[in-house]
Amino acid sequence: MNRHERRLAARKSQPAPSGAGGGTPAALYAAGLGHFQAGRQLEAQTCCQRSLALDAGHADTLQLMGLLSLQAKQYDAAIEWVGRANQADPKTDYLASLGTALQQQGLHEEALKAFDKAVLIRPDDAELWTQLANAFVLLQRPDPAILNYEHALKLNPRYWYAVYNYAVLLLQSMRFEEALINFNLCDELQPNHAGTLNHRGKALHDLSRYEESLSDSRQAQALDPTNAEICTVIGKSLQKLGRHAEALESFDRALDLQPNFVTALNDKAFTLGEIQRFDEALILYRLPGPIDPENALADFNVGLIQLLTGDFEAGWRGCEARWKLSFLSSTANYPKWPQPLWRGEENIEEQDHPCLRG
């Protein structure tokens, strides 16, 4: 049972009337809910079926059938059951469950609409605002997601789930200082959480606080030793601290756990380049090609090594990948000239370029 289902069950929980095994749809629903809370899905379903045989439009029973379907990962059925419950009696709980089922089926726009309606019905519910924010994240719309997380945290500043998701999104948006503040709060609210320590380690790394990053990442690794991503964060901090041999060991561990992990391949290759083991670095940079053919970072780093080793023609060609790497600088993108980018293949004197006009 997930967080929303537990919350719903707790809100509706009440002692089942005597003789709840028969009688009214409400009594059968109450008995079914008790079975659901106790993990007895088959008995809960039987109660629901008997309730619906008496009243096919009993909204609470329809909703409970939806929750049972969600738990069984039968998402099409969950959408149908909860949709029927919502038609019978629109309520926030039903809308939130409908949104969850729609998300599981990849119907993110429809899920967003369900959560949006839910917060209109209960605007003081921090959990619903967090679910709405999560829906925006899944639609890759970070700005409204951030606003909705912030609204949720105004309602409940210590709601761990909202703080954590908000901090992760801030980190992804490269708002590192703000992310760190919120990861600190996450750690205060729920200590020794591997995800918090891992992401805080990333934020500290991006703030060039490598020793602190390494400390957090080591703690995260102790809690989650099979997480390849944590190994890469440790390796990056070790590399920045000049501890290249240890960094390579950490990247190797990541690749043992996840052999086709492109990030670990790139990071290991970069470290090999830093210690001038160029041949090995080039081999590694070329490995992600079949896995990630659009890996511009690998192409760019190969170009840099080729320049360093005197292969200028191939090196300059490889460095053209920089146009795809916006993180290099705010000026990485080609200026918005109407003329095409000159690649040295045409006579520059014949080009009509603003900089060449008298």
Q: The CATH number of the domain where 48 resides is what?
A: 1.25.40.10
Residue 353 lies in a domain: no
In a domain, 87, yes or no: yes
Confirm whether 279 is domain-assigned.
Answer: no
- Domain annotation covers residue 298: no
Here the tokens at position 109 are 């726009």
84 lies in some domain: yes
**CA-closest candidate to residue 300, choices 325, 326, 319, 314:** 319
Domain range for 5: 1-122
Helix (H, G, I), strand (E, B) or coil at 54: helix
How many structural domains are present in the chain? 1
Closest CA to 149 of 139, 136, 140: 136
In a domain, 46, yes or no: yes
Phi-psi region of 246 (alpha: psi -120 to 50; beta: other; left: phi over 0): alpha
Q: How does pLDDT run along the chain (358 residues), one tens digit per residue? A: 455 555 555 554 444 443 444 579 999 999 999 999 999 999 999 999 999 999 999 999 999 999 999 889 898 898 899 889 988 887 778 888 889 888 988 999 999 999 999 999 999 999 999 999 999 999 999 999 999 999 999 999 999 999 999 999 999 999 999 999 999 999 999 999 999 999 999 999 999 999 999 999 999 999 999 999 999 999 999 999 999 999 999 999 999 999 989 899 989 998 998 898 888 888 887 776 555 666 666 777 776 776 777 766 665 665 666 666 655 444 445 566 666 666 666 666 655 555 555 4
Report the predicted TM-score, pTM, of the whole model to 2 decimal places.
0.76
Q: Which uninterrupted H or E stretch holds 252? A: helix 244-257
Type of residue found at 278: F
Q: Phi and psi of 348, rounded to 5°?
A: -65, -25
Q: Is residue 107 part of a domain?
A: yes
Classify each residue of 310-349 as buried b or exposed e, where b means 16 or more C-beta atoms within 10 Å of its C-beta.
eeeeebebbbebbeeeeeeeeeeeeeeeeeeeeeeeeeee
At 15 the pLDDT is: 43
Q: Is residue 150 part of a domain?
A: no
- Spatial neighbors of 26 by CB under 8 A, at least 6 apart, are 58, 60
Question: Token pair for residue 76?
Answer: 């099409």
* Cβ neighbours around 353 below 10 Å, total: 12
CB 5 within 8 A of CB 101: no
Contact 264, 228 (CB under 8 A): yes
For 287, residues 6+ apart whose C-beta sits below 8 A from its C-beta are 265
